[in-house]
Amino acid sequence: MILQLEDFVRRCKIDCLSLAPALLAANCRLNQDAQFLDDLLMKVLNALGRIDEEDTSADDDTTTFPSIDARTGHAVFQHLCTHAAGCLKHCGHLLARTRDLQAAGCVPPPATLQIDREIQATNKAIVTQLTQISVWAARLSSARCSVGAGSDKVLSLCINLYTHLTTAVKRCHTARLEPLLKVSCKKLSSCIDNTISYVESSVQPSPSRVLRDTKLIPRLVLRAEQYQHALHEHAHKHKLNWSHYLSLGTARDFRIKAPALQEALARDADDSRENNDEGRCLELEEPGINDAETTLPTPEASDEENDDHARKKRRVS
């Protein structure tokens, strides 16, 4: 029945996208939501466009999900963010289960072996789900969503994701974190940086809108820095080299904006050129010391020299 409804949503030309959240939830219970969600994501990205690309309409496939376009894509985008946030809640329950199992380690040996096996299975499930959600979050954050409702959804999802990633680094086994680090470090960080720049550049100049639409950005930056700090501490504690996974930090309070920098440099160049032209004109107007019109004043004789000359004349006479 679920497969039939999924095929109906894929091929139907009328607006039946209200069935998407129920289908995603039903497939999630059966652990079969990955393929359906990936197909929806690709269609939404082609309909809304990507932040790092100018035009993505050439790759649009009209045979699957024909009811998704630039108008209905925003609603589906919010459904996908809500579904990913629900999957994160399940990861939170698994992390709490791991904490409780680790606290119950002081039991007789037979029970200890069973607890260790359950902890290993839970950690494996946590890393698998967080890796999948990190991929979804990276794709969702690369879409040209509506600033306001859509951007708040994806920013809240990334905040919760970084919170769960920080907790997983502190509790999960080191050997199982390698696949998660490949996705959740540089790849996710670059997509989120582009999203933050997109939101800041697309927000309306009204002060109230700026505060409302960008209020989640400082929290997101803080959670990302806490995740990077937790990775540094874990790598230093276990003597691991994770430098190739970690991304360089961004000083957002002092970030250099390329258009503003180019405009300022061009303005300075014009000012310096005007000052040089004015200085050259002044040099041409001022008379030089070697000019033909320049006359040197003749020094006048002093009174003592005149008296000496008169005495010499009287002696001779």
- Which position has the higher pLDDT, 24 or 295? 24
Bigger pLDDT: 313 vs 275: 275
CA–CA distance, 240 with 235 (Å, rounded to integer) = 5
Query: What pLDDT does residue 220 have?
Result: 93
The residue among 181, 121, 130, 127 whose CA lies nearest residue 158 is 130
> Which residues are paired to 50 by β-bridges?
143
**Structure token digits, residue 13:** 């030309």
Of 116, 220, 115, residue with least CA distance to 163: 220
Cβ–Cβ < 8 Å for 10, 62: no
DSSP-based three-state secondary structure for 143: strand
Q: What is the mean pLDDT of the chain?
A: 78
Q: Which residues are registered as beta bridge partners of 143? A: 50
Dist. CA 102–CA 130, nearest whole Å: 20
> Please, which contacts does 193-201 make with residues 24 or more away whose CB atoms are closer than 8 Å?
193/250, 194/51, 194/52, 194/141, 194/142, 195/51, 195/141, 195/142, 195/151, 195/154, 195/155, 195/158, 196/220, 196/221, 196/252, 198/51, 198/144, 199/147, 199/151, 199/155
Taking the model in full, what pTM does it have? 0.73
Residue 31 reports pLDDT greater than 80: no
What is the share, in percent, of the chain residues with pLDDT greater than 90?
21
Candidate from 45-54, 78-87, 122-131, 139-148 with smallest mean pLDDT? 45-54
How far apart CA 120 and CA 172 sit, in angstroms, is 8
Residue 92 has pLDDT above 70, yes or no: yes
Q: How far out from the chain centre does Cα 54 lie?
A: 18
Q: Hey, where are the domains in the chain?
A: 2-49+66-240
For the stretch 194-212, pLDDT in tens is: 999 899 888 877 777 778 8
Amino acid letter for position 14: I
Task: Render pLDDT for 212-242 as a digit per residue (tens, 0 to 9).
Answer: 888 899 999 999 999 989 988 888 888 888 7
Which amino acid does the sequence have at 156? S
What DSSP character marks residue 140? H
Kindly tell me if the per-residue pLDDT of 306 is higher than 60.
Answer: no
Residue 250 has pLDDT above 60, yes or no: no
Least confident of 176-185, 232-241, 257-266, 301-310: 301-310
Position 25 scores a pLDDT of 83
**pLDDT surpasses 50 at 106:** yes
Q: What is the DSSP letter of 301?
A: P
When pLDDT is averaged across residues 277-294 and rounded to a whole number, the result is 53
Which of these, 62, 225, 49, 202, lies nearest to 139 by C-alpha position? Answer: 49
Of the pLDDT bands very low, low, confident and very high (cuts 50, 70, 90), residue 254 is: very low
Provide the 3-class DSSP secondary structure of residue 57. Answer: helix
| Least confident piece of the model among 2-11, 262-271, 272-281 | 272-281
